Chain A
Amino acid sequence: MSKLQVSLYRYNPETDSAPYMQEFEVDTQGRDIMVLNLLEMLKEQDATVAYRRSCREGVCGSDGMNMNGRNGLACITPLSHVVKNNKVVLRPLPGLPVIRDLVVDMALFYKQYERIQPYLQNDTPAPAIERLQSPEERDKLDGLYECILCACCSTSCPSFWWNPDKFVGPAGLLQSYRFLADSRDTATRERLSDLEDPFSVFRCRGIMNCVAVCPKGLNPTRAIGKIREMLLANAT
């Protein structure tokens, strides 16, 4: 079994004037390990390799990265899903500034998340127990609340690459719809009017890269479609 060829994006702001690709050879002994395990092996060869990780089970959203051209979470991506011709190319998520190696600056991504006021708003006094919600109403949140903020979607979206400051992006809009769809939220009108400009929502061109890469199988494009419908209904 020949060793796996790994091409890794490297950049250390203290020593490198420009990023470069570094080639590694790793003996995986033919096992179909996760890309995160591969990175751990690389880090034992070279302790300076930097990447984020936490839960190692696909729920915390730390290790979003670009593997052979496709965004995903390193911890739940087996080599067999990405390796081609015994080679894998690992790069940071595209479109965001790189801090070091695979670590990107996510400030812009978080800013767009914060922009949509990602918290329940309800202007009626809270009851002594929970607010009631029928199972059918609750079902509307499925496919929305599960987002882990890994940024795989927004950083695969050409519209977000082009207007990261003005287009909310698929992750932020998915969460925006999560609150618009919540029967307990009373700020629907305010939420919609905050999104009414030509950029926030309408820069989505339905490319659907977000749907293709979401490691949780969520569908931001559908949520964006729903927001558009609500905006149009609101306007008439």
Chain B
Amino acid sequence: MSNMRTLTFDAIIIGGGGAGMRAALELAKSGKKTAVLSKVFPTRSHTVSAQGGITCAIASADPNDDWRWHMYDTVKGGDYIADQDAAEYMCSEGPKAVFELEHMGLPFSRFDNGRIYQRPFGGQSKNFGEGGQAARTCAAADRTGHALLHTLYQNNLKNNTTFLNEWYAVDLVKNANGDVVGCIAMDIETGEVVHVKSKATVLATGGSGRIYASTTNALINTGDGIGMGLRAGVPMQDMEMWQFHPTGIYGAGVLVTEGCRGEGGYLINKDGERFMERYAPNAKDLAGRDVVARSMVMEILEGRGCGENGDHVLLKLDHLGEEVLGKRLPGIVELSKTFAHVDPAREPIPVVPTCHYMMGGIATNIHGQAIAQDAEGKDHIVNGLYACGEAACVSVHGANRLGGNSLLDLVVFGRAAGMFIESALNEGVDYLDASESDIESAMKRINRWNESEGGESVPELKRELQNIMQTAFGVFREEKNMVEGVQKLAELRERVANAHLEDKSAAFNTARIEALELDNLMEVAEATAIAALERKESRGAHSRYDYPDRDDVNWLKHSMYFPSEKRVGQRDVNFAPKTVDKFEPKVRTY
């Protein structure tokens, strides 16, 4: 312990996906001593899997497009618990952030006039829902996330950002005042554990879809930042809000972009019926994702599902023709052939709603500063701690994220966090150093695994966790199942706390990483479950049989999950945008 190395930075960014690298770029340009610490080489981060695009009112497809319309769609899509100051910031700053990406080299697809190609996506409208479907999602074919992530990595290289690649952040280090002053991290290649000391610690660790058995998420999406935050006592906001993407490939869980429906594809049931016409007569297949996912499940439950077991529906694309598919959706053609064994130019793709995105996370303001609450429910900043991207809940997505808004969230709030940290560092940051015992307590968890002498194995426990979540906290939820789920998770937590790491070797020990990740999955799952049980209404992605209606009297609120008492409280939603009138909650139809 005493011979543990200390690395010192002005800012440490944990996570090398879109949000982390956009923040890093800002800080690298400022000359601050910054490092990105990522458990995978940055271009292996999950942003790479984003397909359809980045939604933003750049007024290319429609020269009269207006960011306020995008803001309206975002707030409505989020079923009115998106913070309107944050949605305003994202939608109005968005064009600047997207043009910056283009200037950095992002190879966007183009219209004939040379401007960035935009396609229709779900939940998009013109003129505050009055002017019909908009086409607002800027795309690089169907590989927008890949193009974006590589562009950001490339520009970080250009600006000499320091990367700690294949390093794993274990836990946050807090000083005696409760300020976050760095983290404990491990160099995966050598197994060396170090103390990273930093004036600003940014959690850009992405989502945690791996709490579910079926997810579009990468294997690395284990909620490491959420786990670290919860163990450090930071409350989490809206953790019950998980998006199920309508079109995960049946059986494989691999994502098929909403852009397929944006380009004219549609869903059919076993009778060949375009069933979304019944559920969303106007927007049809381009209704909000929560609406489409629920409609699909209804079709399946009512016996109109496809296949031998009637447990999925079909996404029809063949009418688009090979040329459109080849030009606009080449990645989808590839994935369908590999994972569904169908050529979408000839046959429809079997699809099923699949866990896709965590709307909840670390509550932050628009500068990325983490927010906690005191005993009276008053907000306060957690000194030294920042979050951006999927790990954060700023909250622009509310109870349901719109397609294409996650990439915009990443770049806008990654950039905002970077800018704010730069000015905070310029003004001077002076936190008490962590003491030996502060560091010791952040080492507890890794020490526990390293000293474990027996117990259950990690893969089996992980499977159980994923099955509990899949069964009790899926597209539709109800009290009885959730109570059972919460109970099972509590038992599982005991078992995880006594699980065994057999391989104690140092060099590139992926078993150790998977053990540490299991702790984080456990934290995220429990926060999700307890918050879901508490929110007694249906809103956005949180849909309950026993409380089928939205309850604006009691639940036009964020939920806040407090880890130490495992208690759920509430936090006010922001209804005070600075430059536009607020959008009042309305009945949400598409």
Q: Chain A residues in contact with chain B, CB under 8 A?
A: 12-15, 43-44, 47-48, 50-62, 76, 99-101, 103, 106, 110, 114, 117-120, 122, 126, 128-135, 137-138, 141-142, 145-146, 148-149, 179, 182, 184-185
Instruction: Please tell me which one of the listed residues B46, B99, B335 contacts residue A128 in the complex, with CB atoms under 8 A apart.
Output: B99
> Considering the chains assembled together, what is the distance between the CA atoms of A62 and B331 in angstroms?
18
Please encode chain B, from 29 to 49, with 1 for each CB lying within 8 Å of some chain A CB and 0 for all others: 000000000001101111011
> Considering the chains assembled together, what is the distance between the CA atoms of A182 and B154 in angstroms?
15
Cβ contacts under 8 Å, B459 to chain A:
43-44
Chain A CB within 8 A of B493 CB: no
> Considering the chains assembled together, what is the distance between the CA atoms of A134 and B104 in angstroms?
17
Instruction: Please tell me which one of the listed residues B41, B110, B255 contacts residue A135 in the complex, with CB atoms under 8 A apart.
Output: B110
Q: Would you call B157 and A100 a contact (CB within 8 A)?
A: no
Chain A CB within 8 A of B542 CB: no
Please encode chain B, from 301 to 343, with 1 for each CB lying within 8 Å of some chain A CB and 0 for all others: 0000000000000000000000000000001001100110000
A13, A56, A106, A182: residue with the most chain B Cβ atoms closer than 10 Å: A56
Q: Would you call B113 and A99 a contact (CB within 8 A)?
A: no
Q: Within the complex, what minimum Cβ distance (angstroms) separates A19 from chain B?
A: 13
Q: Within the complex, what minimum Cβ distance (angstroms) separates A123 from chain B?
A: 12
Chain A CB within 8 A of B147 CB: yes
Chain A CB within 8 A of B451 CB: no
Q: Would you call B154 and A131 a contact (CB within 8 A)?
A: no
Q: Within the complex, what minimum Cβ distance (angstroms) separates A199 from chain B?
A: 22
Q: What class of interface size applies to chain B in its complex with A? A: 35 or more
> Considering the chains assembled together, what is the distance between the CA atoms of A59 and B48 in angstroms?
7
Q: Would you call A55 and B112 a contact (CB within 8 A)?
A: no
Q: Would you call B115 and A130 a contact (CB within 8 A)?
A: yes
Cβ contacts under 8 Å, B140 to chain A:
145
Known: A47-B457, A120-B105. A54 touches B507 (CB 8 A): no
Chain A CB within 8 A of B75 CB: no
Q: Would you call A57 and B49 a contact (CB within 8 A)?
A: yes
Q: Within the complex, what minimum Cβ distance (angstroms) separates A154 from chain B?
A: 15
Q: Chain B residues in contact with chain A, CB under 8 A?
A: 40-41, 43-46, 48-49, 58, 60, 95, 98-99, 102-105, 107-116, 140-141, 143, 146-147, 150-151, 154-155, 157-158, 189, 218-220, 254-255, 331, 334-335, 338-339, 457-459, 502-503, 505-511
> Considering the chains assembled together, what is the distance between the CA atoms of A24 and B33 in angstroms?
48
Q: Would you call B219 and A54 a contact (CB within 8 A)?
A: yes
Q: Within the complex, what minimum Cβ distance (angstroms) separates A188 from chain B?
A: 14
Q: Would you call A120 and B104 a contact (CB within 8 A)?
A: yes
Instruction: Please tell me which one of the listed residues A48, A138, A145 contacts residue B505 in the complex, with CB atoms under 8 A apart.
Output: A48
> Considering the chains assembled together, what is the distance between the CA atoms of A58 and B41 in angstroms?
15
Q: Would you call A51 and B218 a contact (CB within 8 A)?
A: no
Q: Within the complex, what minimum Cβ distance (angstroms) separates B63 from chain A?
A: 11
Kindly report which residue of chain B lies nearest to residue A144, judged by CB atoms.
B107
Cβ contacts under 8 Å, B45 to chain A:
54, 60
> Considering the chains assembled together, what is the distance between the CA atoms of A62 and B219 in angstroms?
11
Q: Which 9 A-B pairs have the closest CB atoms?
A: A120-B105, A132-B114, A119-B154, A130-B102, A60-B44, A100-B508, A47-B511, A119-B158, A54-B44
> Considering the chains assembled together, what is the distance between the CA atoms of A55 and B189 in angstroms?
20
